[in-house]
Structure 1
Amino acid sequence: MAASIDDAPLQQHPLRKTRWPLTPHEHIPFSHSVAAELTAATVAGALVAPIITIIDRAIFLNASGTQHLPAALLMGTRELFRHPIKSFRQPACLFMFAVYAGTYATANTVHTICDYQGRDWFWPKFYATSVVNVGLCVAKDVYFTKWFGTGLPKPVPLRSYTLYTARDFLTVYASFNLPPIIADHLFQRQGIPRPQAEVAAQLLAPCAVQFVSTPMHLVGMDFYNRPGATVGERFANVRKEYVKSTTARVGRIFAAFGLGGVANQRFRVIGQDWLKQWHSS
């Protein structure tokens, strides 16, 4: 029978271990752990949102033909350094903050619930995080497509929604579920110390999947920008934009789920360590 969520000690799954297990005498209230998890998610989301916004906006502007990718990246970077507060308060950046703070918060909270109940977090975390991230990212992409696309705003086609959804499912799996598996392999088979293995896996896995998911992103935007294009024209567009768009998306995902993922995990550890010290004093 699962332990009570209010007073049960944090548990470990034998294959996917939590980095901050609680011993039986360390009973931290569930509400305190969730507060720490939400704080970690909020801080991590605020750190990466401006960077991701610059890259994402540049990708959309480039895809629509409004502005070349390097020029758009340079423009966004200049704006961020000259007016950081103003840049963060822009609707695009606030939307991005909601996307990633919400995604981290969901992943952290589901992980904590499963740990308190002594259950494996792997699939519950994937499903819950996927639903939240895909929903928020697709909504964000709809607005970004309208804000930075060509011509007057128009309805985003279902095919674009479908491709954006498939893209985000891949990214979520590679960002929250693959890193522990890769880290275990690096630790057990390659002899890499676990902390370094975890950081390497968290930085590399989300980036690697972009080589597969970038064409989905490009075709999804092309359905909106050029609804009458032929299959051959869409393939030619993907081939033309693939290298620079993949490079940009790798940089974007590196910030969002690489650096952001590492920051989120680090803030989780700091929060749990602080709670253990507070409740043991």
Structure 2
Amino acid sequence: MDHDFVLQQTLPWSLQRNRLAELLTADFTVAAGSAALVTPAVMILDRLVVEKSSHNQPLLPAFRRHLWLSITQPATFLTSRPSLLVWSLYTATFAAANATETVLSEVYPHIDHALATTSTFLTTFVVNSSVGIWKDVKFAQLFGHNHNTSTAGTTTPPPPAAALTPAATGATKPAAAAAAAASQSKILRSVTRSIPFATYSAFLIRDALTIFGSFSLPAMVSTSIPDSVASSEYAKILLAQLAIPASIQLISTPIHLLGLDLYNRPMTIPAADRMARVSRDWIGASLTRMCRIIPAFGIGGFANTEGRAYLHEQLRLSGEE
């Protein structure tokens, strides 16, 4: 009898723990899927911003080149280091937001709504900022000035054409291609220039604005959208989730460009010169980052929210059977 009583006492906590594990598994699954959905577009657009700031490359030709690579070599594109960096960032961000909301709703169901919102924002901000800054540093190292310098400095001139016979030329082509690929891989791994503290600070402020505008502000603004603009609650949420994160980029993009400029030109430069560089790229980079943020936190955020709600509902229905 005592044994049965102990079993009855421990069973609810065991069921609750299993239920929480199932919900968290669903959260991570949806986060990974939503991140995979937005990775190609975000990777291309992030790279364009870095290359524009570092080398003043025209956006459209570079965009066409990267898009063509993603279409003609999808496996190489999706498994490349930049794509995996972007996927890791958004998987971690969506998973942090999902897991925080799940733990608060399941373990602390009576928590104050404002406190729950603040907790979700802080958790998501910490995860997104830490992983996001790491990703941006890697992008600056891969596609910024230092990458070109390293590449130029490690390029070996070809041997004289007269010294190569036709047979030798045919035999050395595969070896030369393999050596070039190995050299390029070594270059990418060897880029380790330190990042100025000011760059980290700029990226941190940018991320705070982005996370607030993507996770907290849309829910606040959606209730204020008039019915003449969007009649249903669903349409208001979707409109806010797409418009607010994009609008925030007008404020956060100059901060992002300043951080990139501090990395690319770490020497002492007059503030007016830095502001001129930021102003030069502000509009184009803002539009690019708007196009980036719509799939990242607009479409990606919407897919994550709806996918999470669907899986949680399915788990609840299966638990009631």
* TM-score of the pair, normalised by structure 2: 0.76
14, 22, 33: which one aligns with 1:43: 33
Partner of 2:204 in structure 1? Answer: 165
Distance 1:267 1:187, change over 3 A: farther
Match 1:202 to one of 227, 241, 260 = 241
Distance 1:56 1:126 in 2: 23
Residue of structure 2 in register with 1:135 after alignment: 130
C-alpha distance in 2 between matches for 1:172 and 1:239: 24
Tell me, yes or no, if the aligned pair for 2:43 and 2:82 is still in contact at 8 Å: yes
Partners of 2:56 and 2:283 lie apart in 1 by 19
* 2:59 is the alignment partner of 1:69: yes
d(CA) in 1 for partners of 2:127, 2:230: 35
Shift of 1:188: 8.5
Which residue is 2:6 aligned to? none
Moved more, 160-169 or 229-238: 229-238
Q: CA RMSD in A?
A: 2.1
* Matching residue within 96, 99, 122 for 1:106: 96
Q: Which residue of 2 aligns with 1:155?
A: 194
| Alpha-carbon offset, residue 280 of structure 1 | 2.3
In 2, the alpha carbon distance for the partners of 1:190 and 1:112 equals: 32
Question: Is the 2:230–2:236 Cα contact (8 Å) retained in structure 1?
Answer: no
Equivalent residue in structure 1 for 2:22, among 13, 16, 32: 32
In structure 2, the residue matched to 1:280 is 320
> Which one of the candidate residues 203, 207, 213 is aligned to 2:252?
213
Query: Which amino acid in structure 1 is aligned with residue 121 of structure 2?
Result: F
Query: How many angstroms does 1:69 deviate by?
Result: 1.8
The 8 Å contact of residues 26 and 312 in structure 2, kept in 1 or not, is answered as yes
More helix by share: 2
2:310 paired residue number = 270
How many equivalent pairs are there?
A: 260
- Write the distance in 2 (CA, Å) between the matches of 1:52 and 1:43: 15
* SS of structure 1 residue aligned to 2:259: helix
1:107 match: secondary structure = helix
Question: Given residue 69 of structure 1, which amino acid in structure 2 is its aligned partner?
Answer: L
AA aligned to 2:280 is K
Larger gyration radius, structure 1 or structure 2: 2
User: Which aligned segments of 4 or more residues in structure 1 are displaced greater than 6 angstroms?
Assistant: 187-191
Asked if 1:180 corresponds to 2:233, the answer is no
Gaps of 5+ in 2: 1-11, 151-190
| Structure-2 change in CA distance of 1:5 and 1:203 (3 Å) | farther
SS at match of 1:209: helix
Q: 1:193 to 1:132 in 2, by over 3 A?
A: same
Unaligned residue ranges in structure 1 (runs of 5+): 9-26
- Counterpart contact for 1:99–1:137, Cα < 8 Å: yes
CA distance in 2, matches of 1:191, 1:5: 43
Are 1:187 and 1:193, in contact at CA under 8 Å, matched by a contact in 2?
Answer: no
TM-score (norm 1): 0.87
2 CA distance for matches of 1:188 and 1:114?
A: 32
